Amino acid sequence: MTRNERGALPADIYLSFVSSLYQNRGTLVIGMLSHVVTFLLVFLKTSDTLYLGCTVAIVVLWIVRNLDMMRFDQLDLSGADYAAIRMWENRYIVGGVAVTLTCGIACGYAIAVTRDVFSQVACVSVTLASMISLVGRNYGSERAVLLLSSSACLPMMIGALSLGDPFMAVLAVLIVPFILTTWMMANNVRGYLFEKILAARDENVLAALETKTIAGQFDAALNNMTHGLFMLDDRHRIVVANERACELLHLGDKAQLKGWLLGDVLERGSDALALDPERSDSIARQLDLLIEGKRSRALVTISEELLLEFSANRRENGEIVLIFEDVTARVQAERQVLQMVRFDTLTGLPSRDYFAELTHNAVAAGTAHDRDIGLLLVDIAEFKHVNDTRGHVAGDKLLQAIADRLKGLAGSEAIAARLMGDEFVVFFHNRVGRSGLEERIRAVHAKLHGTYMADGFTFNMAMNAGFVIVRKSEFRLEELQIKADLALSEAKARNNGGCTAFEAEMEGRYLDRQKLKSDLREAIGRGDLSLAYQPMFTPDGSRVVSCEALARWTHPERGPVPPDIFIQLAEEMGLVTDITRFVVRHACRDCLTWPAEVAVSVNLSVLDLHGDEIVAIVAEALAESGLNPARLHLEVTESCLMDEPVKVQAVLRELRERGMAIAIDDFGTGYSSLSYLDALPVSIIKVDRSFVRDIHVNSRRFKLLLGTVNLARALELKAVVEGVETAEQLQLINEHNCADLIQGFVFAAPMPASAVAVLCGHGMPEPVAERTA
């Protein structure tokens, strides 16, 4: 009720409205149980403790509110003033808002944070369902209806808006009419009841006039409602029907319905709507359960274009108020939300979670025959190159084109979905026979290869794929995905665009690799790595100028593990920076044991340069050891310069400004050698060993080496030639003066730090002298 209405109401009428709030507590029990069960199920599904907290909050609030209602029952408020009555109205509103706000927060959290399909559907459905009984329970207080509906719906709106998705934003705005509709209906019902009470009070004074007034006001209230309404007596006969009810069910003149049984009214509506007998019987059964109190609400599908939601409120005298509304727009919006949650917005294919649901349903719906099923994982080869060269818009269009082709290839015999990025998955469930299924899988993969048109460009794409075939009885989706992923990794390793079947040995290699990763993690944690150093000599071999630090790992059971293997594992585990920290610290310490003119060189990983720790790691190692920064050289490969070039350049400049020399390792093997020479603070390039191989018999390769070194010198860069292994190679390099430093087995293999000192022909220098210098 509005503030003006409250001031105009006699205290006894105001008390009757407030007292109605504390009646019919059975719906509160049903609502509490529904919310508790829903939140517990969501907690079990997601393990998110917020839903456990919501469960506890609902139970506690229900207990507190029941105690408060029991206290209200014990009071005699017949002589109470407005302030006392308003206090009890406020107490009821506070308790109700606490419950609806808890439900609303759970819904908003499910939409914006959890993003789990079941959590979203369960929370939103149960919360909106509880809104159906809002008018029937709270019509006596306008503030209660408005605040309870708003506190339940606003968190949902906020959660949808926070996603930044325009479709979700539209759905959020659509909740506002629901709040306003609920508020208007409550106002109409309350206004009608208020006028009826006033009319009854003055019946003995103005009986005839008051009868006409009440009838007119009653008609106005009922016929201005946005909801349909039937008031039934204790034998389910129509006492009152409004125009909206007759309009929704095509019942004609409402005056003709008085005294009719509800079943006859429904039969008349079914005939007018041309419903088939099966649909008519279904509607009648749903409403019977609702009237008998076995359901709190009933969603009735009249047709594809009309869905009505019914709720019933039973009075103590046996009368029943049946309220229903057209919820077609709301249900269609909910279905659109489900569509957006279940399907990838870019490709229209099922999302990862919905794919899992579809596969389980497909397996469960099949025959009892233990047939073969298959899972195919597809990864687009060189897709990153498309984004880098043509842009993400073209990349998205390409993904859509591939998804459309995959959808057509899958047909009704398979379920295709997009996992993430450029990865797709296909589940084959409708084939009998292993050979036929494998043939079908390989055919799908083969037809995915080829030409695609996207955003005005033509792309010739290849697909890497891995698949696994098992019996239906062995279906475990997560296990199948792991095996198919292992096969996909094998396909990528073997060749570009292949399709590889899972084999048991792959799982063994995978487990062995995982064990090696675990052992490496422990070795790094214990500091079990060691260093070897390969010297870099002047071309005549007379003097050592620098030594490259090389990490070594000797496994207690496997023996020495090649660096290219354990460094790759460390990068996959995100531990490569820990190795870099170890190498830099020990290299700085070991360098102090060598002559002052000998430097040490340390390789940096691409992950080091993309992280935020490398500058601090190097600075800490130099400060701890006291090594002159000029004796520390840092090597980066060209691949490090490809991603995030701006950040990499900033890191290298900072290191260079601190006094360290920057070298490009494996120069000439990357995609962008020349473009970065001018932009980066580089002082050394290390020419890759591939330029040296067979230079004494391959004149073109030697000319390439000579040209690369001349380019470096023209840019005032020092050239280090790697991989010099034979006297013939060394002689040719010296004859043409195409190296400033030589690194290779022709002079020395990697050796311990102590051997470097011996090789240099010097004793151990005093660390203090180094620091002083």
Quick check: helix, strand or coil at residue 20? Answer: helix
Cβ atoms 598, 547 nearer than 8 A: yes
% residues pLDDT > 70 (the chain): 89
Q: Residue 748 is which amino acid?
A: A
Question: Is 229-342 CATH 3.30.750.24?
Answer: no
Tell me if the pTM is above 0.85: no
Q: Are 260 and 236 in contact (CB under 8 A)?
A: no
**110, 43 Cβ separation under 8 angstroms:** no
Separation of alpha carbons 29 and 529, rounded Å: 65
- Do residues 426 and 415 touch, judged by C-beta distance below 8 A? yes
675: part of which helix (H) or strand (E)? helix 673-677
Cα dihedral sign, 60-64-67-73: negative
- Counting Cα atoms < 13 Å in the Cβ hemisphere of 37 gives 8
Nearest to 123 by CA among 99, 135, 105: 105
Residue ranges of the alpha helices (H) in 296-413? 328-342, 352-365, 383-390, 392-410
Could you tell me which residues come within 8 angstroms of residue 682 by beta carbon, excluding any fewer than 6 positions away?
Answer: 652, 662, 663, 664, 676, 717
pLDDT of residue 303: 77
pLDDT of residue 5: 42
List helix spans (H) across 449-494: 477-494
β-pairing, 661-667 with 632-637?
parallel
Cβ 729 vs Cβ 695: under 8 Å:
yes
Domain map of the chain by residue range?
Answer: 1-226, 229-342, 343-502, 515-772
* d(C-alpha 536, C-alpha 745), whole Å: 10
Token pair for 66: 């029941």
Q: Kindly report the CATH class assigned to 515-772.
A: alpha beta
Evaluate whether 343-502 and 515-772 have a shared fold.
Answer: no
- Compute φ and ψ for 428, nearest 5 degrees: -105, 120
CATH class of this structure's domain 343-502: alpha beta
Question: Tokens 């450029």 — which residue?
Answer: 422
Residues of the chain with pLDDT under 70: 1-9, 135-137, 139, 192-194, 196-224, 338-339, 341, 366-370, 430-432, 642-643, 670-676, 762-773
Rounded CA-CA distance 147/92 in Å is 11
- C-alpha torsion sign, points 538, 544, 546, 547: positive
Exposed, middle or buried, 631 (CB in 10 Å: 0-12/13-18/19+)? buried
Cβ–Cβ under 8 Å, residues 236 and 320: yes
* DSSP bridge partners of 470: 373
What are phi and psi for residue 425, nearest 5 degrees?
Answer: -140, 145
**Dihedrals phi, psi of 351, to nearest 5 degrees:** -75, 175
The CA distance from 332 to 733, in Å, is 77
How is residue 724 annotated by DSSP? -
Cα separation of 761 and 450, whole Å?
Answer: 63
Cα radius of gyration rounded to whole Å, the chain: 39
User: Which tokens sit at 586?
Assistant: 């020990």
How many CB atoms are closer than 10 A to CB 361? 12
CA distance 328 to 305: 7
Residue type, 119: S
